Amino acid sequence: MVMLVSQVHAADAPYDWSDEQGAESAKRIIVKCLDAFEDSKERDSCVFKPIEICRTQFDNGSENQFAINQCTGYSGAAWSSMVDDVYARLVQSGKASSDIAKSQSMWSAWNEYDCHAISDYIGTRALMDYGDCKTRHAAGRVFDLLELIPH
């Protein structure tokens, strides 16, 4: 099992959903969830966990469109940070293929363009769609990279 938490333990709810801490709270939720599962299929339940928890806590659980947009944004930022963390661990392991840097660069460009294309419209849900896209893409990349890290 690949543990993602080093010396920092994910705190129990309630989390801090302020602008300064929202993405960090989402990341703690992700790490705690991923650490609970050895099987990659079970990890799928972690993808939207930060959004689910945030929506019940942000703005006292109002679940209005602003709150949903904020929660998906925090989740997208947290998963993107996880991609960076897991990629760095893969490179540090010395077991990364010589093409991993190019692959990561190409994935990053695709991720950015695809999520912009999906959310390139005027409307109150555009930010939600962007955050949701970032969440889905980055979570998938984290899972792919985790499979490459030697156990």
Total domains in the chain come to: 1
| Residue environment code for 97-106, b if the CB has 16+ CB neighbours within 10 A, otherwise e | eeeeeeebee
CATH of the domain at 71: 1.20.1270
Q: What are the two backbone dihedrals, phi and then psi, of residue 10, each rounded to the nearest 5 degrees?
A: -65, 130
User: What residues make up the domain containing 100?
Assistant: 22-148
Low-confidence ranges of the chain (pLDDT < 70): 1-13
The token pair that represents 122 in the structure block? 């005027």
| Residue environment code for 45-68, b if the CB has 16+ CB neighbours within 10 A, otherwise e | ebbbbbbebbbebbeeeeeeeebb
| pTM across the whole model | 0.88
In tens, the pLDDT along 80-99 reads 999 999 999 999 999 888 89
